[in-house]
Amino acid sequence: MEWEVVIGLETHTQLKTKTKIFSGASTAYGAEPNTQACEVSIALPGVLPVLNKEAVQCAIKFGLAIDAEIAPRSVFARKNYFYPDLPKGYQISQFELPVVGKGKVTIQVPAVGKSEAYEKVINITRAHLEEDAGKSVHDLKSDSAVEGMSGIDLNRAGTPLLEIVTEPDMRSAAEAVAYAKKLHELVQWIGICDGNMQEGSFRCDVNVSVRPKGTIELGTRREIKNLNSFKFMQQAIAYETQWQIDTLEDGGKIQQATVLFNPDTGETRTMRSKEEANDYRYFPDPDLLPLEITEADKAAVRAEMSELPEAMKARFESEYALSAYDASTLTSSKEVADYFERVIHGGGDAKLAANWVMGGISAKLNAEDKSIVDSPINAIALAQLIKRIVDGTISNNAAKQVFEAMWLGESDVDAIIDAKGLKQVSDTGAIEAMIDEVLSANQAMIEEFKAGKEKAFNALVGQIMKASKGKANPAQVNIILKEKLSK
């Protein structure tokens, strides 16, 4: 039987606010344990939550970015359960009435093997605001008094999260990863999340089920918790999908469960079954008023937002005559898009700018695991290099040498060209002289060309370029050579 996998994602994005969602404590990462835990964070008797407006603005930004319904009135609810790093014994979240409703994210699924790249729209069910829990730290080592014990660090308790939930719209691990990457780019693009997956700023729970291909009814799902890298997500979904198919083909049944992925073994294992799940006893938090968002609130946030990736992609296609693929690649992050546009504003040709950003720059950055903001070649310098290609000062090959020098820290394009003697010879007289010299020494090739062998032409060009030590302007060489041979 042929199987189909059905995937939905729940993503916890940590919002980039200065303070916690319901108190004034700092959200900075990496502080000494419990130094960013105020009376609200540790849930002393009598403390009360006050909603951070910055977190609400982040939610509105996201809603606008995915063209979603933003609820004029949403409600905070208490999710009740006991855990040592959950200080109140409940998490303030949103349940029945979330701040962001239905929206859409368009993903680009890359080509794999024989299947071509394609676009797909993933429907967002909802996104809601909630607070993070603290952290349990097991097997303490540093301090002899607490060695081997578990510690509670409440620095993270109360950090704002936006939980973004999709419809079960994805049909492969590749689609799920493409969605996660797209969302990861988007939340950074609109500036609501730093996207740091190692620090847990962007965590995905993946719901996976399988069904016989062609059927409509969803299979029983298992939820893979807390995936914090795209590679693990790919592996976890692949393993889980195969495990479910094997289980069903062996006559077994899938039980609803929460599972964890072990990167060391590449396997998923059950953490708790549905029977062990909590009854969270959600009810509206009486300490907080319903969150009301007006049209004016939305307009104010919209006015502060820069161009969204989808709009920028469309503009790149029309304004710079780029292909859909190039436009999509260049808008994969705000930093890349900004860099690309600065190259153009610096006078660089659009097509060449696109090629250099996606080619040379991207390859170097990947090799050195750098981000474009750390590129040793700034956009203006790259524009200068492109100008020298366009105006014929240097050849493409020479440009590569200049680029290497620039990458290593030299900055003045013209100085590099001079120092390396890379200037093209575009003086017609000098080129003609070189061509005549080569032609007189290669009579046989001329005959071949005249007999219809096109290859001979390229061989002659090669000889001429060699004679010029690569400095002759190839376009001019082509034109003059053609003239001379046609005589």
The residues of the shown chain that bind other proteins, judged by CB under 8 A, are: 39, 42-51, 78, 80, 82, 84, 87-90, 152, 279, 281-283, 286-289
Q: Cβ 94 to other proteins, closest distance in Å?
A: 15
Nearer to other proteins, 89 or 263 (CB): 89
Q: Distances from the Cα of 158 to the Cαs of 36, 52, 96, 188, 278, in angstroms?
A: 10, 11, 21, 21, 21
User: Which is closer to other proteins, CB of 112 or CB of 289?
Assistant: 289
Alpha-carbon gap, residue 162 to 282, rounded angstroms: 18
Choose between 79 and 203: whose C-beta lies nearer to other proteins: 79
> Cβ closer to other proteins: 278 or 323?
278
What is the radius of gyration, based on Cα positions, of the chain?
Answer: 30
Nearer to other proteins, 282 or 407 (CB): 282
Tokens 């660090």 sit on residue: 153
- Listed in order, strand segments (DSSP E) in 351-409 are none
**Least Cβ distance, residue 150 to other proteins (angstroms):** 9
Q: Are 13 and 192 in contact (CB under 8 A)?
A: yes
What is the enclosing helix (H) or strand (E) of 152? strand 151-153
Please tell me what DSSP assigns to residue 274. G
Of 226, 261, 217, 264, nearest to 243 by C-alpha is 261
Least separation in angstroms between CB 128 and other proteins: 18
Residue showing tokens 């090629």: 355
Nearer to other proteins, 24 or 212 (CB): 24
Please say which residue, 39 or 412, places its beta carbon nearer to other proteins: 39
> What are 200's strand-pairing partners?
none
Residue 218 tokens read as 């969803």
CB of 133 to other proteins, least distance (A): 12
CA 170 to chain centre: 18
Residue with structure tokens 């898009």? 337
**Cα–Cα distance for residue pair 340/480, rounded to 1 Å:** 36
Q: Which is nearer to other proteins, 78 or 313 (CB)?
A: 78
**Min CB(159)–other proteins separation in Å:** 18
Strand order of the β-sheet with 283-284 is: 90-94, 76-80, 283-284
